[in-house]
Chains A and B, each alone.
Chain A
Amino acid sequence: MTNAAIAVRHTNRNARIKRTVIKTLEYAALVLACFIALLPIWSSFTTSFKTAEEYATTNAMALPQDWLNFGNYAQVWTEGEMLRAFLTSASVVVVVVTVSVMMGSMLAYVLNRFRFPGNGLIRNLFMIATLIPGIAMQVTTYQIMKDLGFLNSIVGYMILMSGTDVISIYIFLQYFENLDVALDESAVLEGCTYFGVFFKILLPLTKPAIITVAVLKGVGVYNEYYSANLYLQSNSWRTISTALYSFSGPFKSSYNIICAGVLLTLIPSLIIFLVFQKQVYAGLASGSVKG
């Protein structure tokens, strides 16, 4: 074997060793990141199965003695009135998602398919609205909600949540741009009205956009807590967020019980995520990249 060939083999081997080391480091970094992502949730999970005595005496990271101790879950479910909170949250999500999908798709249809004076103005008004940080306007929004009699009103909260959602309008606008106008034309030639075109032909075709908007909006509304805390302070209309928030009262620092409540609220998000993973990722991208 010539010296040159040996040298090449050496460099190949070195390169291979280098690759292996890098690969190992990359896996190590990924595992560490996942560990950090999961550790806080994991510790709540294990704690939720501990009895009061166990919680007081064992280390926070110690595993529970009985993995089937659902006592905390039962207690938080009944005393924390979680069924009621879940039902309230579910109705808010259903109403807000339905209204947002309808409003977003209808407005996008009008903006995309018709030319009329004001089309540009409407688009601009929505664009400019995105420049004003919503967070800065909480103070005066509160006053408007108060003037409208929407304090402690679930309907008021639903209307506020369905309010201008620019993301869903953009997702629908993009989608309509890719739907051929010939569809509308042939339907109209066969005697279909514009309403018919929208409801019977276009809306069913936007199903992927509907799912994306519904998942994004649904998760967002389910997790919303700031406005819920502000506008739904009466006990009769607790959403999951406000119910959770109130736990620090009755359960004080009994974290074993609170953790059970926390875990229960995570279940719907987890299921939605596992089922609609693709739509969640795609929705984030389309909601932020384009427009």
Chain B
Amino acid sequence: MTVLKAVQPDLRRKKVNWQKVAVITLFAFVPMFLLILFTYIPFGKMIQFSFHNMSYTKDKGFVGFDNYVKIFTKPEYVDAMLLSLYYMAGAVVQLALALFFASVLSLERIHGAGIFKGIMFFPFLVNGIAIGYIFKYFYTRGFVLDSVLQTIGIPLESLPYWLRDQSVNNWSLVFTSVWKYCGQNMVLFIGAIASIDPTLYEAATIDGANRWQQFKAIILPGIKTVFMLNLILSITGSLSAFEPAYVVGSMGANGTATFFIKIHQMAHVSQKVGQACSMAMVLMGLILLFTAAQRLFFRYVMKDADNTFNAKANKAKALW
């Protein structure tokens, strides 16, 4: 009964099972090595560098909290942080739309539901750089979007330059993010709704509940976990938003540089690695703070003891 020993260790015999040691070492070594190499070492270095004035090649020494002080006193950094508010607003709209379409596709008998779902999901699979070109073309003066708006009777003169005009360009970028992720959120919601016991709806219908009541009493509680997960992902994603500004907004041109774009430029253009690391630390602090705040909110305010959505949530939408 060797395996039983492995699964429930036999305390009477202390003889080392070398085969077991070999299999554990061999199978766990590489993943652990990579985890430490690409997560824990960079993490440690990030903390260390954030207190230094340094580039990739030269370290000019320890400077204490100087880098951190700069982040909060220079308006350009604070402005970049505030840009994430656009993305948060977009995230709220995105979640609402995703939830709406998920419930329509799950609860109603819709002909071609699979096709609708597939079409709305597909943007999630489009290459990021391709999205950049598609939307630069889409937003170009007089091109796709403008043509469509002219067709419904809006004159070109009254339309802004979608990517250049600073009063709208951040919304234009946020839209590309909603365009990409809405269908993905919807698919997650559909999956969660599908796991709700269907007899609940029947019982509710017999009791005379209408669709809205069913939604509130059955669906919302049933998908609470997935909803919170999506919410946390969207908010933390907004804080570290970079994709639209990177690929569509030409690397944050015209006042669209989000905080992460600033970090990227600081490190790879200005070569100020220490400063970039302190910014990354601030970004991480904000993300952890928001995640913790939301979890506390849901646990104590919403009386939610459900623990299944947890740390790994953060990784689910991180595509890299």
Contact = CB atoms under 8 A, between A and B. Distances in A.
Interface in A236-279: 240-241, 244-245, 247, 255, 258-259, 262, 265-266, 269-270, 272-273, 277
A90 interface: no
B284 A136 contact: yes
Interface in B1-59: 1-4, 6-9, 19-20, 23-24, 26-28, 30-32, 34-35, 37-43, 45-46, 49, 56
B127 A244 contact: yes
B260 A266 contact: no
Give the residue among B30, B35, B312 with the most A Cβ atoms within 10 A: B312
B313 interface: yes
- Bin chain B's interface residue count: 35 or more
Given A114-B7, A140-B277, A289-B226, A269 B283 contact: no
A288 B188 contact: yes
Contacts of B305: none
Contacts of B291: 131
Nearest to B319: A220
Give the residue among B31, B247, B267, B319 with the most A Cβ atoms within 10 A: B31
Contacts of B129: 225, 241, 244-245
Contact of B320 (A39, A134, A146, A222): A134
B107 to A, nearest CB: 10
A14 interface: no
B110 to A, nearest CB: 7
Nearest to B135: A40
Given A128-B311, A223-B128, 11 more contacts: A29-B104, A61-B144, A114-B24, A116-B20, A133-B236, A164-B31, A181-B7, A223-B125, A225-B247, A273-B118, A284-B191
Interface of A: 23, 26-27, 29-30, 33-34, 36-41, 43-44, 47, 59-61, 103-104, 106-107, 109-111, 113-116, 122, 125-144, 146, 159-160, 162-164, 166-167, 169-170, 181, 184-185, 188-189, 193-195, 197-198, 219-220, 222-227, 230, 240-241, 244-245, 247, 255, 258-259, 262, 265-266, 269-270, 272-273, 277, 280-282, 284-285, 287-291
**Can you list the 4 inter-chain pairs with the closest CB atoms, starting with the nearest?**
A106-B27, A285-B191, A60-B143, A140-B42
